[in-house]
Structure 1
Amino acid sequence: MRNGFLAFDRALRVFSAVAQVHPLSLTGWNGSTLWRDAYGPLVDDLVFFADDIFGGQFCIREDRIFLLDPETAVLELMAESLDGWAERVLEDTSYLTGQRLAHEWRTSFGPIELTQRLLPKLPFVTGGRFELENLYACDAVEGMRFRGELARQIQALPDGTPIRFVFRDEPE
């Protein structure tokens, strides 16, 4: 009934299917130069349609629904269909969307902007905690670009490998 929406204290953001290219439309969000290029081939065959409060990307690959971890680019199978995905989200809204922390954020700081997500100060993959003290509101595109670089740099490392952050002004 809606063409894009926010739900659960803005923890779930479903992109609009409008034909125009806008960062929060399916066409805009899936554009190759908005943020996807920061991930390179890690996201080539995925179509993104929604995200959680932390920028975890819900996507479609071969008619199945996955969740892409933005820090590692690891895919988790969520469901065999959009209906199955919606059922899972409704069964465990807090975990799958981050609603509890989105609510705590809104109570403490006000609602995040439509174009923002909550990112960890210390990335979750490096031990950052899912707590307000470790979060900040960030432009969603900027956050995806940063974490795309992180995912590419750590993708081949075994768990537990010490890492050093390398920041560049421009993508390779």
Structure 2
Amino acid sequence: MPLFLEKLLSVCSGDISSCKGHKLPSGFHNYTLIDDLITLLNNRNGFYGFESALHVFPFETVGEEIGVVAWNDNSLWIDCYDDLARNAIFFAEDVFGGQFCIKQDGIYTFDPETGSFDYLAPDINEWCKKILEDYQVLTGYPLANAWQKKHGPIPVGYRLVPKVPFVAGGEYEPDNLYLEKSTVAMKARANIALQIRDIPDGSNIQLKLIDGD
């Protein structure tokens, strides 16, 4: 097992699903790093880390736990972003629903409020290293910890979403966070991303917020 993958798994939960050796649909194999993802999930089939701030999807859906195949079904939430969320395989998320994904040249983050991708690491082992080195920023752990001390554990299938979107100046504070179902949150923030996609940086924006159902 790659070194940093092993180190990350040593501080995370057990498998979300006990099933092993699943095959991914053919479309997933268009990505050069897909074997990295298969290695990850064969070693730990979905897991949580840093008090649920990090969530890695299992191969398959298990109860309320959405599997990586279902999560990447365009009709679930990706289509809501028009063309902004295309050409990636989303395999994990931070506590706010910010996505980690595979693209052709590496591992990227995807901001659900802006629809923007940012390069993070060349492969999943190096992604694990980045998470271990900077988990407080990359997973949102401090806010996950503070919010759960007050409100209790984050339920399966939910993330902490800002009441006032971060992109609109919402504060990274527990009082600005509420529980929302992951799919609902992604759809609602797709609306924000589409509203601001063509607005120059620094411009004033007036967002129309909608329910993600």
1:13 aligns with 2:55: yes
2:96 paired residue number: 54
Residues 134-155 of structure 1 deviation map (CA, whole Å, 9 limit, x = unaligned):
1111111100001111101101
RMSD (Å) for aligned C-alpha atoms: 2.0
Count of matched residue pairs: 171
Measure how far apart 1:101 and its partner are: 0.7
Q: CA deviation at 1:88?
A: 0.2
Structure number with bigger Rg = 2
**1:170 deviation in Å?**
8.8
2:144 aligned residue: 102
Cα 1:168–1:112 change in 2 (3 A) is: closer
Q: Is the 8 A contact 1:54 1:98 kept in 2?
A: yes
Deviant stretches of 4+, over 4 Å: 167-171
Structure 1 partner of 2:166: 124
| C-alpha displacement of 1:167 | 4.6
Question: Are the aligned partners of 1:49 and 1:59 in contact in 2 as well (CA < 8 Å)?
Answer: yes
Using the TM superposition, give the Cα deviation of residue 162 of structure 1 relative to its aligned residue in structure 2, in angstroms.
2.0
Higher relative contact order (CA 8 A, sep 6+): 1
TM-score (norm 2): 0.75
Q: 2:132 aligns with which of 67, 71, 90?
A: 90
Give the Cα–Cα distance (whole angstroms) in 2 for the partners of residues 64 and 107 of structure 1. Answer: 35
Residue in 2 that maps onto 1:79: 121
- Equivalent pair of 1:23/1:29 in contact (CA under 8 Å): no
In 2, the alpha carbon distance for the partners of 1:163 and 1:95 equals 26
Uncovered stretches (5+) of structure 2, i.e. residues with no partner:
1-42
User: Residues of 2 paired with 1:5 and 1:146: CA distance?
Assistant: 25
Sequence identity percentage: 41
Distance in 1 (alpha carbons) for counterparts of 2:178 and 2:211: 21
Partners of 2:120 and 2:211 in 1: CA distance = 35
Deviation digits for residues 82-135 of structure 1, max 9, x if unmatched? Answer: 001000000011110001111111111001111111111111011111001111
